[in-house]
Each structure stands twice: as C-alpha cells, then as structure tokens.
Chain A
Amino acid sequence: MKKLITLCTIFIASLFLSSCGGSSCSTPVVLPAGNVALASGSVTDGPIYNAIVEFYDMNGTPLTTEPSVVRTDDNGSYRAVIHNMPSQYRVVVREGSDSSVDGDVNANDENNSIILSSIVTRDEGNETVGNVTPATTLVDSIVEDGALPLDEATDLVKDQLVGGADIGEDLSKLDPKKHDVANKLGNLVALLTKMVPSQDRKVTFKAVAKIVIKKKIKITISNMGLDIQELNLTTIANEAKELGADVSLDDMEKIASVESVILEQLTALMEKIKAVDTMSDEDKKEALVAYNALFELLAKVKETNLDELDEEALKLFVYNLQESIKAILDEMGREDIGSDDIDFVSNLVKEHLGEDVNDYKKSVVKALQEYKIVIKLVVGDTKVNISLKKVIKLIYKNSDLDALTLIRQALGDNKNLEELLKAVEAMLVQSDTPELQALLEDLLASKMAQTIEDQNGSVSGDEIANGANEVVNNPELIATLKVKVSLKITIKAKAKKEQLTFQERMELVAIDKVVKDIKVNIKIKLFTKVAQDNAEALYEELLKQLMELANSDAQTIQTQIESLELIITNLFSSFNAIEFEAKFSVAIKIVQEIKMNTAVDNIKTVLKLKVVVEMKFVTNVNDGVVTIEEDEVQENIVPSKPLPKVITLPQPKLSTMPSDMLTNIKVAL
C-alpha cells in the first residue's frame, strides 16, 4: 500500500513538474495529504539559473525530494516535491550561474560563487514558497551562529538595512523578482560581501552578519534607492579579517581613504537596481553600467598605490567608464558583452583618462569590435592563448587613440600573430611569478603598440619578432624587472599582515615609476647594461627624493607623486642626480600651478601633459634631455568643464505601464 502511494506521488509530481517547467505555472496541484508537499521559490542574487537546490530539516538532515536532484530553471525558479515536509526547513543553493543585475541569461553572467540559503516556514496548504536571496542567507547566517532566533534575526536585518519600509514578516516569502525593496535588499547584502577585498564569500557573509548583529550599520532602502546613515566598509573588512579572511591591511587602508567615492557609486547602483520583472531594457542597461563601474572602481583602487589614490581622479574614471560602457551597450547590446569586454574597456579608459570621453568613446566601441575580431583568430583555451589574448588586449591599451584601428590591420595577419605567440611563449619561460608575467605582458604590448604605430599598421612578421625579442629575450631587462618585482611582492606580502612603513610605501611608488620609465624607454631603444645601471640610479634618487616627504601632509605627497608623471628619465645616457632634481622641481611647480588654477581641470590637465611629455620623449629622445616648458603647459591646459551631474528621477515601475514610461526621466544639471 505504501509503495502504491509513493508511485502515485511520483506520478502526480512528474505530471506537475513536466507541465510547469518554471515559476509561471499556476495550475492548482492536488497532492496526497499529510506527508507530501510542494516547495517552490526563486533563487536570486541576480536570478541564479541551473543551480543545485538542497533541502534540510533544521537539524541538518537532508529531506527526500522528487526529483532527487533539484535545479533552478532559466528564471532562477525551483519546484520540488518534499516528503515529510517539516514546519520549518532550510533551503541551500550552490553552483549555477548568476544572471547579474540585468536578470537575463547572457554573456555578462557570472558563475555563482556563493552558497545561498534560506530558512523557510511551511505554508498552509500543499505548496510552500521559500525564496532564497543574499538577504535570507544573511538571516540564516545570523541564526546559524546561534546569535538570534529566526524572527529576531529577520527583524534585525530589516531594522538595520531596510529602515521604515514595510516588507512583511518573512523575507523568504518575498519574491525579489517582483518586489523592488526585497530585490534591493538582496543586492545590497551581496554587494557588501563583494566589496570586502577577500575571495572567501562565506566569511564575508558572516562579517556582514556580525556588523548587523552589532548594529554597526544603518541603511534605509526604499523604492527610491538607498540612504546610508552608517556604513563603514573597513569595519566589515575588519570583521572578515577576525573571522580568518585573507584581507590585506594595505587594501583596507586604501578603501578607507576613498570610501566616499565607493559608497557614492554603491548608492548610484542601488538606485538603478529594480525588481527584474519591472525593469525595462533601458533600466537593465543602466544597472549593468553602474554595476560594472563599481567593480572596476574597486579593482582600480586595489591596483593603485595608497599614496597615488585621488578621489577626483577616481570619480573621473567612474564617469568615463560609465559613458564608455554605455556606448558599447548602445552599439553592441547586452547579449554579447562579457567581463572580458568590460576589462578591455576599463583598460582603455584608464589609459586615456585625460581625454574627453565624448571624443574617445566611439574609438572604444570600434576598438572593442575589432579586438573581438582579432581574438576570434586566437581561439583555444591553453595557457599560452590566454596570455596571448591578454597581450593583444594590452596592445590596444598601450596604443594611441588615433591608432586603435591599426591594430587589427597589423594582427589580422596570421604570420604576425604567430610571431607574437612565439614571444608570449618565451615570456612565459621568463616569468617565474604571475606579477612578473603581468609586467612583461604590459611591456611587450607597449613595445608592440609602438611598432605598429611606427609602421602605420603595415608591420611585418619580422618587425613584430624583432620588437618582441627586445623585450622578452633581453637578460638585462628581465634581471632589472625581477629585482623590482621581487621587492614589490615582498612589500605587498607584508601589507597583508601589518601596516606598511612610509619607506615601504615610497618604495612601491619608486618601483612603479622606474618601471613606467623603462616602459617608455624600451619603446625606442634596446635596454642595455647602461640602461640597467641608470634604472638603478634613478630608483635610488627617486627614493631619496620621496623620503624627504616623510613629514609632509597627504596632499603634498600626492602632488609630488603626481609631478613624477611629467618627467621621463632618459636611461640611455648616464644618469645625473642634479639634473633629475632640477626637472623634478620644475614638474612640482607646474603641478602646483595647475592645482591652484581654478579655471582648469586639474586631473585632465596633468594627464594630458603626461601624454605630451611621453610623445616628446619618444620622438626626440636623441636630444638627450626632455624638458617641460611653461609655455607648453599653458597651451595644453584643459578648460574647466565640470562633469555634468545627471539626476535620475525615481519612479515606480509596473509591467502594465506603457513602455516609454518605464525609462526614468533624467535631468542633466
């Protein structure tokens, strides 16, 4: 008899499951009373599809389900029949793919790297809804650690992260695909865990749970967006560190120093995030733009030295990046744009920050289209091809904006790609650390970009080979780089455990400056023993000059470091410390003047001058000395043009609204 009931159950369940295939099915299901019930819900960070969904009782014993392995569908929804469904159970979700903030399955999706969970209370009737989001995971995390019972944990999360909005008693009953505030809450929790500079998301979730329990966070989420009353990213990072996460002190210090820019972008992103079911295509695009800008911003903060971080420069980076990503999404659509493409765009933006974004964003779109064509020629997934792809991407980054279209012309030739591939293989032999490999990739790409520009795109395989050889088969260059990279690795490793000294911070700045100068020098000449000695002398002198700033304020230090952008040392003729000091003084004076001139855009002006100085060096290096004349500065000053502030007027959105009313009204002030 028992067997018969089971068979009936399976039959009914299979009928139900095969006829529904997702959350859209609303046919009432009659299941045998008593010990069999249906569990359904959605899994949303962005909707997570093809994820494994497991069910446990509150003691951690797996529940029997039909089918035995439950997975989410394309919309991130699941359905399963559960035997002996208890009054409360835990849903655990792992793997799958996150369809990101736009909620659609496409190229910008990411593998789901976190384990999400939810404590679900059984509903009356045959079907129980249990949605799983980062917010329910946070509640579960608080309960799991025994800190609070479910209802109190839920209330605490709502009090500290939602504010006044009425979102009901049970977060697992809210479908974030339909409920704006629930969706924002889930995204906020996920974003907070992603903003801690640690790979261990389980620990970062626990860290967020801790600051919620300790009430060290106070945020109000509404349909209008996000209002942060109290949020300190370093507090979360500190908790994560105490829980054993590998968080560098240096990274924490960097985040603390530019936290306002990061939180501003977080707030802007939260305004764009909407419940997936109410988002128009334009909304999805905007959310994707703001999301990518936030994470590229965090990546830029991570890779920049603490003393070189500048809030205004970061704001300009975010603005230019957003405009560029918007331009590629307008031109190419969301379907084809993945993280590799965003990385490409971000690289180009970083390198051309001094330019007017309205002028160069078309070049960025064109370059990305052509990069994708070149990359199609480099198919395969071997380590070499991954490196080759990176080098090709970096060639674009290191190329002049006007020359971006020449690269496909040069690399569209299979012979040239073969030569480049050989150079990459040789480079991999030389690279004993990932850091050295990354540096060599950039230097090789810079040399290649210059070779292509010099030959106006009509470069031969031999020219590619010769240029590449000068970089990757050059013992003096490799030896110099290895020493500098090794020192940098040592300092960075120390930064994970303790605060860096002023000298160590300045050593990082000096290393980066010497490598930058080497990069420009090797564009035009072979790096020889003379250049090697001069690079060492330059490093010593730089460090000496920078150490004199030990008692200066942060602004003075930043100005002097910025001034270094306007000097390039000729490593081919003997290094003269007095000459260097004089040039450094002139550069400092120029940057100070630029900063005092309220009629100019400081950041863009310095960046533009940097390009002028490099061009002058590359074309006139045989003159021996590169000078910075004041009249040149005046000619190149960028007129003050504050970034337009665009206000997006908030509004509710429903799928029944006319489509033209689903796009927010924007006002550019």
Chain B
Amino acid sequence: MRFRGLKSLVIAAFLMASPVSAEPVRLYIDADFSHGAQAAEAIELGVRTALREVGGRVGDLSLDVMLFNNRANAKRSLQTLRTFVSDPEALAVIGGVQSPPYLTNRKFINENGILLLLPWSAAGPVTRAAEGQTNWIFRVSIDDTKSAEFLVGRVVDVHNCTRPGLLLMDTGWGRVNRIALLKSFEGRLEEQPGVWMFSGTVGATEASRIAVEVREAGIDCAIMLANDANGALIVRKLFTESAPVRVISHWGIMAGDFPGSVANEIREEMQIEVLQTCGLHAEEAGRPEVKRALDMAGDGNTVFRSLSDVPSVAGFVHGYDLTRILVVALGQAVLSEDWAGADMQGRRALLRHALENLQKPVEGILKTYNRPFRRYSISDPDAHEALGLSDLCVAGFSRDGRLVLPDRGASLRQ
C-alpha cells in the first residue's frame, strides 16, 4: 500500500513537473449542494481524492473539477447539462444523490453524448437507455432494481418480520420502488405488506396519522424510502405514536443530517438500519484501498480515521471508486490513435468506449473492479452497472450518529 501511494505521488510529481503543458479538461459535479450538501460534498470528496492520487492529471490532460448546484432541480440540472454540451473542455459529468434530474433528462443526455457517471442516484431506469439510443450513463452505486430484493430479503429472511409495512415517499422514486418491493414480497408472506405513501413535504400531522395507522396495522418491520428531513419526521412519529417498529431504510436519509434530526435513543430503540454498499465491511476486512483513500481524503484540518468519520460515506466511497475507474479508462482512451485528432465530443466517445472495454482491473474501496462496464444493450440491462446485489449491505448508527457496522458484529452481508 505504501508503495502504491509512493508510486502515485511520483507519477503526480512527474506529471506536474512535465515540461509539456497540460491540456485542461473539466469534470462537472452536478449535485444538490443546498439541501443535500452533505452527500454532494461527500461525492466531491471522493472525486477529488481519487484525482489527487493521480495529481489531477492523466497523460497530458489536466483534470479540473467544477461544481454545479442543481438543488435537486431537474431543470437546473438540465441547465448544467446544456452548459456541458457547449463546453469544449468538459469531459464528463458526475451526478448527485437525486435520481429525478437524470430520469427527466435521460433522453437529452444520451442524445447529446453527455458522459454521465453516477455515484449515488439509484433509480433503475437511469442507466437503461431506450432502444436505439446510445447509452452514455454509467453507475457505481446501488441500483433500485436490486435494492428492493435486498431490502425484502433483509426484512423477511434476516429479521423474520411477519407484518412488514412500506413507508414510501410519494415521488417517482418511491412509486417505482413500491412496485419493485411489492413484487419482491410476492410469495414470501401470507399477505402483502401495507403501504403508506407520504409527500415530500409531509408535515407532523400527516406523519402522526401514518404512525398511528402503522401501529394499528400491527407492523413489525418497515421499509422506508425517504429523504433525511421527512424520513426523520416519520421516524420520530413512529417512535412516539407507535409500538417499536424496526426500520430498514433506503439510503435516501443519508443525503442529509438524518442522525442529527433523530435522537440516538430513537435510533437505538428502533434499530434503524440503512441500506449501504459494503464500504464499511471492506474497511473491516482491511482493504488497503480504504486506508489509502482516507489518507488522501484528509487535509491538514480534517483527518479521517475510518469511513464512519466521513459524512454520507456512500457518496465518498462511490465517488472515489467511480473516479478511479474514470482515470483508468481515460488513461486507456488517450492511448488510442484517434484521441489526438478528436474534438471533445469525439474524446467523450472514446472515453465511453474505454469505460465499456476497460482493459485493466481497478482497485476501489468496495472491491477490485474487473471490467465493471460492458457494451450496453437491451438484453444486457446491467451493462452500465458497476455494482450488483452482492455489493449491498446495511449499516447502523453509532451513538454519535455515524454509520457503523450493525451491532453485535452480526454479519449483515448477504
């Protein structure tokens, strides 16, 4: 590990000292730096950490990061995408937490050849291009088409819940997951679970009503899809209005300061679990990349001893792994014959091709990626998904609100 870090530094120093003037290219981060600032910043940290490892350069290219705050607004995101299209030095866009901007703008992205790399947003259709369209979207994150099955397995098989319920935010994301979750429940319980949908701006009254209904329905486990604010409200109301319910939450609540909004005693009482990829487990398992990344991520003021120290850690982990893959792919692309003569659109295409045909394995925090992406087709819908069902885990909260491995060391890995 030390050797590797040294090597990186040498490469970076070499690149920076190179008399050849570097050609600047830009990486856009299109994320919600307002409400979901914590998650967005975690992604940014992961990206910058990975870049820092290569000194911000690949070959003759100097990689610069530009931040665009989409405030979870698809139109704002579209604005960024348009800016990207007209920017001759923009190489790729790295997305934020929310899926709606990319669900809404997917057609625009694919039609305009915008290379979009998603480290967090989970909506299934984003990486599945329509037939006849070139697929320009790659993901290193949870895919909701997999998460439903994982969450249901967690409820039924691990916790042996008999009367589960679904608490879903009434958005496109929530509605898509409702279908997927109910489908996953089919045949596994005597009766289908109860479903409660609530709006993104749900207030205390409605949250109370839902909590009462949950109690009255005798729910023992709840799968929750919410963001940090409304998720916190629902949890608080469940705690006060209802009998103890085990909450297994999708990771939407980790986009913000969910632990800050929910008291520790509640978290403990309700045994809240959060869907995560298996970064913590990798750390636990001692993957050297975790330590290296944490070392690189910290600066003079901030020191990360563990992934748990990183707020919205999923964003950091995925952002880091994603950028690692990107750097390798870019290094592969610039070696192609066409690179030098190609314009930026041509180079994006070459990079996209390199991503689908990565020649070398990439060492990430979560795992070693052996050809994470493939050429996409309708018959291979997971071609642009770097992670699969086996990469999903859950995490719990420590008393100070950090994500940690679930209590009592029980393996949550599935």
A, B co-complexed: no
